[in-house]
Structure 1
Amino acid sequence: MLSTRPRIRRAAAPILVGAVVAGCLAAAPAVALPVRTAIVDAPVEVVADGAALTLSPVGSYETGVFDESAAEIVASYDGRLYVVNAQAGLVDVLDVKKPSKPKKVGEVQGDGIANSVAIRADGLGVVAIEDADDKTAPGSIVFFDATKRKPRVLGSVEVGSLPDMVAISEDGTRAVVANEGEPADDFSSDPEGTVSVIDLPGTVSAATQADVRSADFHEFEVGGSKTLADDVRVFGPAPEADLPVSRNLEPEYVAVVGDTAYVALQEANAVAVVDLDMATVDEILPLGFVDHSEPGHGIDPSDRDPQGAPTFGIRTFDGLKGMYLPDGLVAYEAAGETYLVTANEGDAREWGDYVEPARVKDLGDDGLAPVCETSPAASLTGDADLGRLNVSTAMGLSEDGTCYEELYAFGSRSFSIWTTDGEQVFDSGEDFERITHEAAPEFFNSNHSESNLEGRSDDKGPEPESLAIGEVDGRTYAFIGFERVGGVIVYDITDPAASGFVTYLNNRDFSVSVEDDGVELLSDAGDLGPEGLAFIPAEASPTGGPMLAVANEVSGTTTLFAIDSIS
């Protein structure tokens, strides 16, 4: 049984701005921004009976930039937050020693677009930098010293194309970089996806180019020494005729466990297992598919229901499957075993003239194959059923390619827990849609830039984007952000197979629709589009209690939440 109750918080703070540029320090004049806050008057909340904790917003920093990725990935170190500001191509440094009044005190900037940041226990920081002019060109990792009052850039090394995420091993000896290798926007070229392994110095200093090794996917090509499972999605046109597998696989998220890295291959619906000692990809684990005909795994796939207007309705559907396609991926240990946790956002390939998704009702038109007459989904192509749902045109075709026997939706609208062999031990199923509907029924499956009803039902629902894991009072929790409807949902994952919902909080005022009302009301709307989360343990928290930092790419806000134990 779930219970809903509003929480009221409000804080305000002037913000002072300074700057640190690559390779040197530069003090910017203090600029007083308007005294505004992204903490809304009444965040929506759902709390499970018997919940051991809740979330409450404490303070927020606003860039004032809307829908330009001004707050993406966030890392915490020594009373500061380091927030990737892709819009400005840098990392914002926020002082949060007074959590209710975060203030910007500096920047870390490389020669390009910042995508990710991580900081070692001794203060060695690393930033993944994409080439600003050509994302298919090699990127770089910039090193900085976070122990200084004004963080100092120490140097850089070259890595693969479009470094999307960087993680540091628990022992601090290595940085691991997921080089996504996205195609050019016009699909004129498609670089290889790779994983860079960087041996880090024992001091707060920059690595050298000799410390960088690259793990690639060449052995999974035809004729290579390793086998690629059939369920690993390799599809679509390839501008270059050589290395089609290596160009198709696009590493995105990294979790490091000892001498092994687990790397999410989102569009491929798989996870790569990387041997860090050898800098080789040992295997690729296919994640399989969710069957939306099974009880507990239904979805609401339509923004136009039987009466023609959006209404809430989760159902199961024969002939429909979902691809997990995880974005965020983290690892943790339970009862001596390592598990992987994925936020199953979903993603399609759309480059140049190649467009993977299509609405079910459009199958059979414009050169697309129709749904097979013998498919269980053949009678479900109307708008009130599956007609509005976006599905993959690259999956489910009959052997002769003339029709679709099954339909495959993007993402699973869930999070999952897996063994390191790729066996699923838990999936949240249809929980996310049911819980977010209870929290704000009039804005179920809302978009982020616009407050609406069922704006995302025909696509990927709440869209679980990223996650963080932390321990509170001896229990392990997963904190998962919803990119579209917004908010953070919390699950107790201490016993992976018996994981359970704890609480959901959305610091958003749905009465403000920025796309309609204008960006001058951005502060009133709250947090939109959570992209990156960081758990701050009690011993590292400015309050002495555990906290959660959330970077929101649409609202350009970074918000701190207290994690409050319920006695």
Structure 2
Amino acid sequence: MKNVFKGILAMTSSVLLLTSPMHAFAANQELTYFSENENGLAVELVARYASGAEIDDGGTEIVAYDAKNYQAFSVNGAEKALDILDLSVLQDNQTTIPLKKRIPLSEIGVEAGDVTSVAIDPEGNYIAITAPADPKTENGYVVFLDTDGNSLANVEVGASPDMVTFSPDGSKALVANEGEPNDDYTVNPHGSVSIIDVSGDIKQLDQSAVTTVDFSDVTIPDDIRKVHPDSTYAEDLEPEYIIVDHASQYAYVGIQEDNAIAKLDINAKQFVQVKSLGYKDFSTNHMLDASNKDNGINLQNWPVLSIYQPDGMAMFEANGKSYILTANEGDAQDWDGFSEEERVKDIAKDIGYELNADLYAGYTQQQLDDMVANGLFENEQLGRLTSSTSHPTNENGKYEAVYGYGARSFSIWDAESLEQVYDSGDDFEQKMSTFYPDYFNTNNDDDGFDSRSDDKGPEPESVISGHVQGKDYGFIGLERQGGIMVYDLSNPTAPKFDSYFSSRIFHGQDAKVTTESGDSAPEGLTFITAEESPIRQELLLAAHEVTGTIAVYALGEATTDEDSDNDDDQGNDDGQDNDNGQDDGKDDSGDEQENPDNQQEEPNTDDEQEEPSAEQPEDNKDTNEDGQDSGSDKDEDNRSEKVASSNNDDEGDRLPDTATSNWNVMALGSMLLLAGLVIVYRKRMLQLFHK
């Protein structure tokens, strides 16, 4: 029996080796992919940059791309520096992105406390970075550097500059100055936008080129939420993000905490509109899991009105119309001197609720009263949900609704009217409950289960659009869950879920995120067109704040020069966003006409479909309709691992290099184990026979 045991042990070891996660190109570089159709956008993890920062120290946050030099600029909060990365190594199939240069704050020419954002001008000649002062309540700076990192100029802007972008015509740099208060809430500077005229020689830039606009003289509608009751709107409104239309005429400013978008006339240098984004009603149509103490995945309708509060934004054009994409993360003001954040059960105890059915579409007053009587404000139901005290009360001083942070979705808004034309509803949580039943609503620094349901769920943080081989896609980064949602934007008023991919590696319930966890917490997304890519294939850069890494994803099928020669016109005008969600000014073909009935259009079947090559899986053959010029003589096998279908309705299609068990390999391993047992058993019987 000793030999039998040895045989079993040997074969079991072989099975364990075969069923370990398969690595595409290096240790701990894995990609998990889910799609609900066989023609989902092909995605491959091709490289990674590791900043070396400690976990959750902000080693990478925002990334901009320099197409002229095939390099990227990454904000490194851990080192309070700007990192310059070499992406040209992708041409040689290198999988580790090297650091070319690190520029600390001490070398940028101003006394600053941090580096928060970076953008490259449309011509690719220089970059701008935002640098808040220390203390942050004083005016900050924008520093202009050449693409080698040498200082060109710097100017003073508003307090807490948090994001910078360029107008598509390259004449203006625009800065979102958040104007956050100090921790004691004794100093609360005005939130503002700085408009910097960069149309002249950047080396001659001085303070006269800067105009900072705030909300002091702007008429603010009554429905705009005010967080701090004793502040003015000029103090309370905190610009978070900026995108600019194709004509470089208007900037759209996200004001996250106040749940609004402001429209800025760039040439007139004044705000012309401030629009509330309203509430998302979870009492009907949309569901959410509202508790981390309900012992499972519990998606259902609740009497919750949640504020959208977008973080990342992107501009997108289709059918001659401009649309705004928003990642509806949610955020609260939570300072030592003032905090609006409180759990529902504590509000129920300290202030009280008198829920009003007139505010909900899904309940009668009797149903609401029954829900309250049946423990609505207990931990297992809504008691744990984080809510805000900065909402209206009735004449009795009671709250008439339960309010939540963030919409747990992405939305599309008509840029002209700022009216919503689409919201992804409860898609994100529904799909995560299927894709990650063991890590549903997890956190970004540990592998918990259901741990963020009482806060903002998967927390969509960033969004960008891009044109890949004949289709326009929206990419939404989920800060807590760790991956990227992909939607087909062919019909902007009715996008379709395409796929979800993630290079985060889970290590078991409640395990801490480490350097072995791949990439967690996508903070900034940058789309690179095939024409500007080092490998002549569309790329997505995803900067992950918790792991301090940047993942480089290749999108669509790798193409050849012959494919490129047959490319049709719709691959030329992509209209996608560049760094930081800034639109590059290119026109987007989109659909040929709008769908006035807001119905999903049927896919176009007129174009001839390309047959899959021997290297390409059958289920990806339709994603290669409009191939881009590869610009390289390298064999297509260099990027050969593509989507492999698992034919599992619950788990979707996955790339071969998944972090979960591969059932096909397990089956093979089991057969080998059985064969080994038979051989060992036969050998033992022969030994006994000869004895």
TM-score range, shorter chain: 0.7 to 0.9
Task: Supply the distance in 1 between the matched residues of 2:167 and 2:195 (Cα, whole angstroms).
Answer: 10
Matched position secondary structure for 1:432? helix
How far apart are the structure 2 equivalents of 1:276 and 1:53? Answer: 37
1-structure distance, mates of 2:21, 2:200: 46
1:14-72 per-position Cα deviation (integer Å, ceiling 9, x unaligned):
xxxxxxxxxxxxxxxxxxxxxxx6523xx332112153413221111112221111110
Higher relative contact order (CA 8 A, sep 6+): 2
Structure 2 counterpart of 1:384, from 380, 384, 389? 380
Q: CA deviation at 1:212?
A: 0.6
More helix by share: 2
What is the SS of the residue equivalent to 2:78? Answer: coil
Match of 2:527 among 535, 542, 546: 535
The CA distance in 1 between the partners of 2:253 and 2:298, in whole Å, is: 35
Shift of 1:236: 1.6
Q: Which sits farther off after the overlay, 177-186 or 94-103?
A: 94-103
- Per the alignment, residue 102 of structure 1 pairs with 97
CA distance in 2, matches of 1:45, 1:334: 28
Aligned partner letter, 1:39: Q
Instruction: Give distance in 2, aligned partners of 1:373 and 1:479.
Output: 37
Counterpart for residue 251 of structure 2: 261
Matches within 5 A, 1:79-118: 79-99=70-90, 100-108=95-103, 109=105, 110=108, 111=110, 112=112, 113-118=114-119
Query: 2:372 is matched by which residue type in structure 1?
Result: A
Is the Cα contact below 8 Å between 2:524 and 2:542 reproduced in 1? yes
In 2, the alpha carbon distance for the partners of 1:266 and 1:232 equals: 12
What is the distance in 2 between the residues matched to 1:11 and 1:103? 16
Q: Which of the numbers 478, 495, 500 marks the counterpart of 1:499? A: 495
**Which residue in the other structure is 1:30 paired with?**
none
Task: Report if the CA contact (8 A) 1:215-1:274 is conserved.
Answer: no
Could you tell me which amino acid in structure 1 is paired with residue 241 of structure 2? Answer: Y
Match of 2:681 in 1: none
Kept in 2, the 8 Å contact 1:119–1:168? The answer is yes
* Correspondence 1:286-297 to 2 at 5 A: 286-295=276-285, 297=286
Structure 1 residues 71 and 206, CA gap change in structure 2 (3 angstroms): farther
What is the CA–CA distance in structure 2 between the aligned matches of 1:204 and 1:542, rounded to whole Å? 28
Match of 2:299 in 1: 314
How far the C-alpha of 1:507 sits from its partner, in A, is 0.8
Q: Which amino acid aligns with 1:104?
A: L
> How far apart are 1:291 and its partner, in Å?
0.6
Deviation at 1:512, TM superposition (A): 5.9
- Work out whether 1:415 is the aligned partner of 2:413: no
Question: Partner residue of 1:479?
Answer: 475
Q: How does 1:189-208 map to 2 (within 5 A)?
A: 189-203=187-201, 205=203, 207-208=205-206
Other-structure match for 1:39: 29
Worse-superposed segment, 377-386 or 101-110: 377-386
SS at match of 2:432: helix
Q: Distance in 2 between matches of 1:436 and 1:290?
A: 20
Measured in 1, the distance between the counterparts of 2:396 and 2:544 equals 42
The 2-side partners of 1:388 and 1:533 are apart by: 32
Amino acid of the structure 2 residue aligned with 1:491: Y
Q: 1:124 — aligned with what?
A: 126
**For 1:437, what is the secondary structure of its paired residue?**
helix
Q: What secondary structure, in the 3-state scheme, does the structure 1 residue paired with 2:283 have?
A: coil
> Offset at 1:261?
0.3
Give the structure with higher Rg (CA): 2
Task: Indicate the RMSD between aligned Cα atoms, in angstroms.
Answer: 1.9
Q: Structure 2 CA distance, aligned partners of 1:495 and 1:203?
A: 42
Higher-strand-fraction structure: 1
Give the conservation status (yes or no) of the 8 Å contact 1:38–1:527: no
Distance 2:24 2:516 in 1: 11
SS at match of 2:61: coil
What residue in structure 1 maps to residue 352 of structure 2? 370
Tell me by how many angstroms 1:464 deviates.
Answer: 0.2
Q: Which amino acid aligns with 1:470?
A: G
Which among 493, 515, 521 is matched to residue 523 of structure 1? 515
**Could you say what secondary structure the match of 1:433 adopts?**
helix
Partner of 1:23: none
Query: Partner amino acid for 1:378?
Result: V
Question: Following the alignment from structure 2 to structure 1, what is the Cα–Cα distance between the partners of residues 516 and 200?
Answer: 46
Report how far residue 384 of structure 1 moved.
2.1
The runs of 5 or more residues in structure 1 that have no matched partner are 1-5, 13-36, 221-225
CA distance in 2, matches of 1:195, 1:403: 36
- Per the TM alignment, residue 303 of structure 1 is displaced from its structure 2 partner at its CA by 1.1
2:345 paired with 1:361: yes
CA distance in 2, matches of 1:210, 1:11: 51
Query: Is it true that 1:397 corresponds to 2:379 in the alignment?
Result: no
TM-score calculated relative to the size of structure 2: 0.71
Q: What residue in structure 1 maps to residue 61 of structure 2?
A: 72
Q: Compared with structure 1, are the counterparts of its residues 512 and 83 closer, same or farther at alpha carbon in structure 2 (3 Å cutoff)?
A: farther
**1:357 positional shift:** 1.7
Taking the aligned partners of 1:47 and 1:545, their CA distance within structure 2 comes to 21
CA displacement 1:59-105 (0-9 Å, x = unmatched) = 11112221111110011113111111122222111101123220000
Deviation at 1:404, TM superposition (A): 1.4
1:428 to 402, 405, 424: 424
1:60 pairs with 2:48: yes
- 1:503 maps to a residue whose letter is S
Aligned ranges for residues 226-375 of structure 1 at < 5 Å? Answer: 226=219, 228-238=220-230, 244-257=232-245, 258-295=248-285, 297-305=286-294, 309=295, 311-317=296-302, 319-365=303-349, 368-372=350-354
Which segment drifts farther, 284-293 or 376-385? 376-385
Instruction: Find the aligned partners of 2:42 and 2:456 in 1 and give their Cα distance.
Output: 26
Map of 2:178 onto structure 1: 180
Structure 2 alignment gaps of length 5 or more: 1-19, 358-367, 558-619, 622-691
Residue 219 of structure 1 and its aligned partner are, at CA, apart by 1.7
**Is this contact kept in 2: 1:156–1:208, CA < 8 A?**
yes
